[in-house]
Amino acid sequence: FAAGADHALWHIWQTTANGTWSDWASLGGAITSDPAVAFNDDGRLEAFVYGTDSSLWHIWQTSAGGGWSGWEGLGGTLTGDPVPILNREGRLEVFARGNDGQLWEIAQSTPNGPWAGWSSLGGVITSDPAVIANSDGHLEAFARGADNALWHIAQTNPGAAWSEWGSLGGAIANGISTALNLDGRMAA
C-alpha cells in the first residue's frame, strides 16, 4: 500500500500464496499521509489515511481477501500518520496526533463493526505515536513530548480507561518504534 503521485491509494498483492505479484491497482482517494493497514477481527484488511481535509478516511475489504468498499470519512483534525491496532477485544483502534498536539483515538464499537466517536488522550506530543499491545493485552502509546523526551500512556487493563501521561526521559530526535520481547517485556 502506498500513496501514488496522483495522491490516490495504490496497492499490489501476490496472486497466490508465495506466488507472483499483480499489477498495481488504485483504490482512489485523495490522501496526504502514509497509509496504515491493519486486519479486522474477521481477517479483512482495512486501510487508513488522512484526506486533503486533514481528517481520517478508511477503506476496507468487503470479505477476507476480497474486493474493496468505497471510502468513508471518520472525522478528526489530524497531522502525521495514522496508527491502527487490533485490540484484545477484536476491535480496531486508530491513534493519531491531532492538530492541537494531543493524542486522539477512535475505535470500533464492536469487532468488525461501526466506529465510535473520537476521544482525546491528552498530552503534548510532537511525533506520530507508536502503539503496542502489552503481554496482557492492554494498549500502550508512546510519543515524543514537547521537551523531546519519550512519553507514554497506557490502559489500566485491556479495554479499560487510560492512565496519566508519564515521561521515560531521553532526547528523541525522530520517530518511535516499539516491540514486544518473547518474554513479554516491551521495548521502545
| pLDDT single digits (tens) 10-47 | 999 999 999 999 999 999 999 999 999 999 999 999 99
Distance CA 102, CA 88 (A): 24
Q: Answer whether 87's CB lies under 8 Å from 100's CB.
A: no
pTM equals 0.94
| pLDDT single digits (tens) 94-146 | 999 999 999 999 999 999 999 999 999 999 999 999 999 999 999 999 999 99
DSSP structure class, residue 34: -
Q: Answer whether 162's CB lies under 8 Å from 152's CB.
A: no
